[in-house]
A and B are shown apart, each in its own frame.
Chain A
Amino acid sequence: MSAVFPPHGAVADHHDDHDHHPHGWRRWVYATNHKDIGTLYLLFAFTMFLFGGVLALGIRAELLQPGLQVVNPELFNQLTTMHGLIMVFGAIMPAFVGFANWMIPLQIGASDMAFARMNNFSFWLMIPAAVMLASSFFMPGGAPAAGWTLYAPLTMQMGPSMDAGIFALHILGASSIMGSINIIVTILNMRAPGMTLMKMPMFVWTWLITAFLLIAVMPVLAGAITMTLTDRHFGTTFFNPAGGGDPIMFQHIFWFFGHPEVYIMILPAFGIVSQIIPAFSRKKLFGYSSMVYATASIAILSFIVWAHHMYTTGMPVTGQLFFMYATMLISVPTGVKVFNWVATMWKGSMTFETPMLFAVGFIFVFTMGGFTGLILSMAPIDLQLQDGYYVVAHFHYVLVAGSLFAMFAGFYYWVPKWTGVMYDEGRGKIHFWWTLISFNITFFPMHFLGLAGMPRRYADYPMQFADFNALASVGGFLFGFAQVYFFFFVVLPCMRGQGQKAPQRPWEAAEGLEWEVPSPAPFHTFENPPKLNADATKVIG
């Protein structure tokens, strides 16, 4: 039976006795099956992605022309803040957890996640948090408008929605921590015999490292926003200089969370791409162990670079130099990953179905984000670019062209296994090219705006910035429509089971245990630990 939404009548076809589970709404509310929860996470994340996207289009509509036309500056700041919070905490992070839920048990030969009920809880916690976050627009004074970075003391001036936002982040953080614990325990305890750590698929490896990052830094964020909360209501002065506090301390704490968070959002993307490139190159991943070590080094280095977000706060010269060197160092393991992907493609036998297109698009555009990252790591140049549109361009190149493209790649790669039907290849290609081109129309001009000195989070700008802003806005709307197209013309048909029936192995050279189960993956898989071949990619009886 389809693991997602069974077409009517299909239920009667299969009555295997391991297929007993609640039907109707209970199947989802009481869900303990990793596949169902994975689906819930992905749908939730896509909903939030569209919501955050609408907010982004509000921003781009206002910036289409100089002068205020669409929103006032208060609402504009609310839009930028909420766009950031929702995309980071509501879209990208849950989407990767969705991928983890679906794929990790399948890839390591486990029957389910280690803590099935906690899995349910960590998903359903996100709903009230998301509702609270989204409804903050209707609270007195509107949504939080202090930027997604929530810098003190601006947060002191916010209305009650700031508290709602803080609680929402607390809940989302708790959900993330539970998800991470679940992922770590699943990976460490539930691998099929023979699946040693160094034989695990790269996606599992990157998620294992990501989960440790999450456990390390989510409590730090919780601490920072709790201090903000007590500063706001209980008379503490953690960030208030009048009481001996320090507003810059907030930035240190926030970015101690925030920089590893950046890698939380990109490491699983590396994992997905590391699965797809070999599959469509018909060649093994080049330098598997160096990929693992590079991922781990990126994760470790991510803890000692946070203050490169703060070069303009006025750090001592040694501080600036330390953070500059450490940041530049990250380009080494990141470079190793890119070189390994290219080496995997080298002398392969490549085909370019949609997953591969998105994966190659990822490498190309993500690397451009890497270059701008390298340029921004240089403290003297950063002084020109800090808090400007160059930074906006940079992090959208790594988060949209990085994380999002990798997720699209992963979706097209695994959707035959999830739903049992092939997506429409032509539509997938349209989605790819439309997305890639409109993405670049939107964000490439922002580099120029940033170099020319346009600050970010500006509702209105000098006339000289008008043309590139108009171009970016046009691109932004095209990009948004591409994702609506993706949902209605790719995702929905797959979920409804429309399309060609997918074989068990839709991709000729894809390796891994997920291709050892039928398409769609049955409700329960690997109920008994499978026996694996020597390199743990095939089930042998």
Chain B
Amino acid sequence: MKNPSQPWNPLATVGAVAATLFAQAAHAVNDLPGGPANRQLNLHTPATKLAQEQADLHVFMMVICLAIFVVVFGVMFYSIWKHRKSVGHQPATFHESVKVEIAWTVIPFIIVIAMAIPATRTVIAQKDTSNADLTIKVTGYQWRWGYDYLKGEGEGISFISSLDNEHRILSNNGAKGAAPDNYLLKVDNPLVVPVGKKVRIITTSSDVIHAFAVPSFGIKQDAIPGFVRDTHFRAERTGDFYGQCQELCGKEHAYMPIHVKVLSEADYAAWVQQKKAAAPAAEAPKAAQAPVADVVAQAAPAK
């Protein structure tokens, strides 16, 4: 087992054995807070109220599904066990019952309504992007993200965020040797936002459809060329949070990660100051031009 501190988990053991046998086990890494954990079994630890609601809904659904599973397959396997020819069971002759049919049409219908009610609340909350403290435009490029702070503290900041080229080269080399915990998730310029503020993300794209997603925040929004869409989040704690492009966008689709750094208000203000002081003239035009010279393209293609 790679992580002895974790409790023993048979499934994970099978996974680890398989990995040892077939993957040379050269990839011992730690969990990445704000990103994926080793052999993670559930959704990311929520960092926003909406992500928490999604996680709760998921648990709620799992409980209902498990209950239905136990009832339906309890009956089925009981029947398989008891109503076999080999144990001498004689077949019954019934093959219709309007009452039963109505019951198992109406009951699932009621269950569905019970599931729809809490989901509806969350859908409506997710779609409410009004009264944002900070508005950031996110532009998808093949294959990097552009961030423009449109409104709120930090207005006018704009930069491009791309995968650390070392990681891209490491990927081409088969990710051999000691890989960092944030393999394929490390970017040059993370998106920086303040904690506790409602951040509205406006997405668009300059080429094909991408999708901006940060699982810990519970957001995923396609970035569509020629159109703007929006989503929002309010991070409840500081830290680093990771996501990846979630809509197939060409060959480097796997290599355009998202890294959001959530800072305290004071740290954020300091970051804004520093960002504005450091070449305000140089930053703006850089973001305005689409990235043509592609660092990624220079990396040698895999065999």
Contacts and interface: CB of A to CB of B under 8 A. Distances in A.
**Do A and B form a real pair?**
yes
Interface of A: 64-69, 71-74, 77, 145-147, 151, 153-154, 157, 240-242, 246-248, 281-288, 290, 312-314, 316-317, 320-321, 324-325, 328-329, 331-332, 335-336, 338-339, 342-352, 360, 363-364, 367-368, 371, 374-375, 378-381, 383-384, 386-388, 445, 448, 451-468, 470-471, 473-474, 509
A457 B244 CA distance: 12
26 contacts: A67-B172, A67-B175, A77-B250, A153-B208, A154-B208, A247-B225, A312-B246, A313-B229, A317-B123, A320-B123, A321-B120, A329-B112, A347-B79, A347-B91, A349-B90, A351-B86, A364-B76, A381-B119, A383-B126, A384-B51, A384-B215, A452-B40, A453-B36, A462-B36, A464-B39, A470-B23
Contacts, number: 346
A388 B246 contact: yes
A453 B44 contact: yes
Contact of A350 (B75, B83, B108, B172): B83
B54 A283 contact: no
B41 to A, nearest CB: 5
Nearest to A67: B175
Nearest to B64: A374
Contacts of A350: 79-80, 83-85, 89
A375 B207 CA distance: 32
A343 B43 CA distance: 36
B84 A471 contact: no
B75 A342 contact: yes
Given A248-B227, A336-B104, A467-B15, 20 more contacts: A154-B249, A241-B225, A247-B226, A287-B96, A321-B123, A324-B123, A331-B112, A347-B83, A351-B84, A364-B76, A381-B54, A381-B57, A451-B42, A451-B43, A453-B36, A453-B44, A453-B215, A455-B253, A457-B248, A463-B29
Contact of B22 (A72, A157, A452, A473): A473
A328 B115 contact: yes
Contacts of B68: 371
A338 B108 CA distance: 12
Contact of B183 (A74, A146, A463, A473): A463
A282 B91 contact: yes
Contacts of A67: 170-176, 179
Contacts of A240: 226
Interface string B230-249: 11000000000001111111
Interface of B: 11-12, 14-16, 18-19, 22-24, 27, 29, 31-32, 35-44, 50-51, 53-54, 57-58, 61-62, 65, 68-69, 72-73, 75-76, 79-80, 83-86, 89-97, 100-101, 104-105, 108-109, 112, 115-116, 119-120, 122-124, 126-127, 170-176, 179, 181-185, 203, 207-209, 211, 213, 215, 218-222, 224-227, 229-231, 243-255, 301-303
A473 B18 CA distance: 9
Given A384-B43, A458-B254, A314 B222 contact: yes
A345 B79 contact: yes
A240 B54 CA distance: 34
B41 A464 contact: no
Contacts of A281: 83, 91
A293 B215 CA distance: 40
Contact of B69 (A151, A344, A371): A371
Given A463-B29, A463-B181, A77 B38 contact: no
A281 B79 CA distance: 10
Given A65-B23, A248-B227, A453-B44, A348 B92 contact: yes
Interface centre among B75, B89, B250 (most CB of A within 10 A): B250
A297 to B, nearest CB: 10
B245 A66 contact: no
A314 B58 CA distance: 21
A375 B222 contact: no
